[in-house]
Amino acid sequence: MPELPEIMVEFRNVDFAVGETQILKNLDLKIKQGEIFILLGESGCGKTTTLKLINRLIEPTGGEVLVEGISTTDWDPIKLRRRIGYVLQEAGLFPHFNIEKNVSLVPSLENWSADKKRQRTREMLDLVGLKHENFARRFPAELSGGQRQRVGVARALAADPDMLLLDEPFGALDAITRSHLQREFSKLVRDLGKTAIFVTHDLQEAFALGTRICLMEKGRIALVESPEKFQEHDLPLVREYLATLAAQ
């Protein structure tokens, strides 16, 4: 397997607009291999748009996004998306597929053999703490919210992607389940050596998971720092975030 580049994702002076509405402006950003990179900000600041630019669900209206050193517009979009695991809030599982079929979706699209798919599904469910014999034949409606999110992570990892994109995956869960899954996810990603780009509006979640935090405001990058340096920063928006955390 070829060695991964040090910089997995790079934004070069990226803009994104819909008509006259400017959603992102002048994004310059490098995301390193093996880090959990947090996109933090309030609703409407451009976090999810930034995420979608990485797997070419949308394309920049200015500038360039590179994945593994190649512009997203030079990637075949299907090939690019199959190389990147994607986890949504509420997992985004297909309700008419059982759990085994949901987890093996990308391997099926890649024409893996039935035995290889079955073995990989078993490995992935075990990895996220769901026994294959207990869950493989169930359907999403038969699972709790936390279990569905575990399946979503298992599906994202099934084809062994080097990078994961996560859009507020734990936002709809109760506080105890959310905290438990945050700890499990952080350990899992680090143990597997994956690069993860994680959208949240929750500062506590950002601190719990992130190697670096990118604070966004009105489509721009306000700050990129480690959790430790973030807490020491005197930027007014940072102090506002920290005040909300202290008030909890």
| pLDDT for 226 | 96
> Strand 7-18 to strand 21-32: parallel, antiparallel, or no bridges (unpaired)?
antiparallel
Q: Which helix (H) or strand (E) holds 214?
A: strand 212-217
Question: How many domains does one find in the chain?
Answer: 1
CA distance 86 to 108: 16
User: What's the whole-model pTM score?
Assistant: 0.91
Spacing of C-alpha 40 from chain mean position:
12
Distance set, CA 227 to CA 3, 103, 208, 238 (Å)? 28, 33, 9, 11
CA distance 149 to 173: 9
Mean pLDDT computed over every residue of the chain: 92
* Residue 123 half-sphere exposure toward CB, CA atoms < 13 A: 12
| pLDDT for 48 | 94
Q: With respect to residue 1, please indicate whether it lies within any of the assigned structural domains.
A: no
Return left, alpha or beta for 239; rule: phi > 0 is left, psi -120 to 50 is alpha, else beta: alpha
Lowest-pLDDT choice from 38-42, 97-101, 175-179, 219-223 = 175-179
Q: With respect to residue 86, please indicate whether it lies within any of the assigned structural domains.
A: yes
Q: With respect to residue 2, please indicate whether it lies within any of the assigned structural domains.
A: no
**187: domain range?**
7-247
* Residue whose C-alpha is closest to residue 152's, from 162, 140, 134, 137: 140
Which CATH number does the domain housing residue 40 bear?
A: 3.40.50.300
Report residue 171's pLDDT band, with 50, 70 and 90 as the boundaries: confident
